[in-house]
Amino acid sequence: MRRGRRKYNNVPRAGFDSGLEYGVGLELQADPSVEYIERQVKYVLIPSQRGICGKVVERPCTYKADFRVTYKDGRVEVIDAKGFRTQEYIIKRKLMLFVHGIRVIER
């Protein structure tokens, strides 16, 4: 868990990054159709790029989903607890659909 001042002034709660994320997590845990919940799942949107000498010149661009949920019927959803949509998030959400074919569900 992170310490000190947080980027968006959200307050951590019970091991979650925010109260909103905590609430979504509780809802998912209470849902009888949910088989498995993964938290903070990382997806690579643009891999790291190397120069001709082999040295990394650009780090990878990644998206970290709040939850990846597998349902008993086999469906898998990527869920993000969003209080505010930043420009960076909107671009990464669009890249998730373009690169991985995954539509991020916002709660």
pLDDT in tens, 2-12: 455 555 556 55
What is the enclosing helix (H) or strand (E) of 28? Answer: helix 19-30
Which domains does the chain carry?
A: 19-106 (3.40.1350.10)
pLDDT in tens, 57-97: 999 999 999 999 999 999 999 999 998 899 999 999 999 99
pTM, 2 dp: 0.83
Per-residue pLDDT band for 1 (boundaries 50, 70, 90) equals: very low
- Cα–Cα distance for residue pair 37/69, rounded to 1 Å: 5
